[in-house]
Amino acid sequence: MTRVSLPKRAEGHDRPPAIISPSILSSDFARLADECKRMVDLGADWLHVDVMDGHFVPNLTLGAPVVASLRKHTDAFIDCHLMVTNPELWVKDFAKAGADMYTFHLEAAAGPSPDDWHNLAPDSAHQAVVDMCHGVKAAGMHVGLALRPATPVELVVPYIEQGLVDMVLIMTVEPGFGGQSFMADKAAKAAVLRRRFPDLAIQVDGGLAPSTIDRAAAAGANVIVAGSAIFGATDPGAVMRQLRESVTTAATSGKAPH
């Protein structure tokens, strides 16, 4: 499987282009292929797949077989967020299924106990996380590294500096269920990364909607995940355009992310 190139930052922009990635967790699963086609036709850039194992997070959703079935019906970029305890177990399955982005949690890859990652120094790379990044790239997928709301953003810096990570996912809700309220203070993590890494893809996921997008955009996010705000809208296309416009406006404002 050959990785699809991620879009590059244009001159005069402080980040790569806006990418809208509707979360199919909020779709009608009985009509999944049709729902995904509708989103792409209305302007979605990616399709976001929330994978939960009922252990790392208190919910159970879908896995590689559903991604494989979906791949037969779409050429869209499939953006998979693995909220699972042992992300290393599923790399080959998702690569074979046709996933383009494999985003795993730093907390899960660093070890089963919070002590395994809470005690990490911001300037040190955990070998298990490094190995995961290499494994995902070797399988032909882009590497995404996700952080729960309480995890310090500085812990991802060593992996970015080593060129191991294509995207960082900042969670602005506790992972596990859709429809939660946006944690505005957590979006500030994106600003920390954007100031240091203008070419990095930074994804924000959790409670994003027209009413909250400006905060995430101002912080430097360029990849926007929204579920209920898009799928539950009367005009999903209009919502996606509003999300995109907010990011694009912030990217060209000349103001430092905050």
Active-site choice (50, 79, 100, 166): 50
Residue 258 labeled ligand binder:
no
Residue 163 labeled ligand binder:
no
Active-site choice (14, 79, 100, 205): 205
Q: Are 67 and 74 in contact (CB under 8 A)?
A: no
Cα separation of 103 and 185, whole Å? 22
Going by C-beta distance under 8 Å and a sequence separation of 6 or more, which residues neighbour residue 119?
A: none
The C-alpha angle with vertex 250 and arms to 257 and 48, in degrees rounded to 5, equals 95
Q: Are 28 and 236 in contact (CB under 8 A)?
A: no
Residue 176 labeled ligand binder:
yes
Residue 227 labeled ligand binder:
yes
Comparing CA positions, the residue from 113, 91, 88, 111 lying closest to residue 101 is 91
Residue 253 labeled ligand binder:
no
- The number of residues in the chain equals 258
Residue 205 labeled ligand binder:
yes
Residue 124 labeled ligand binder:
no
235 as an active site residue: the answer is: no
50 as an active site residue: the answer is: yes
Cα separation of 27 and 173, whole Å? 19
Residue 220 labeled ligand binder:
no
Residue 69 labeled ligand binder:
no
Residue 207 labeled ligand binder:
yes
Going by C-beta distance under 8 Å and a sequence separation of 6 or more, which residues neighbour residue 203?
A: 21, 103, 144, 167, 168, 169, 170, 221, 222, 223, 224, 225
The C-alpha angle with vertex 228 and arms to 207 and 78, in degrees rounded to 5, equals 90
Enumerate the active-site residues.
50, 205
- Residues annotated within the binding site for a divalent metal cation are 48, 50, 81, 205
Residues that constitute the known binding site:
23, 48, 50, 81, 176-179, 205, 207, 227-228
Which residues contribute to the annotated binding site for substrate? 23, 81, 176-179, 207, 227-228
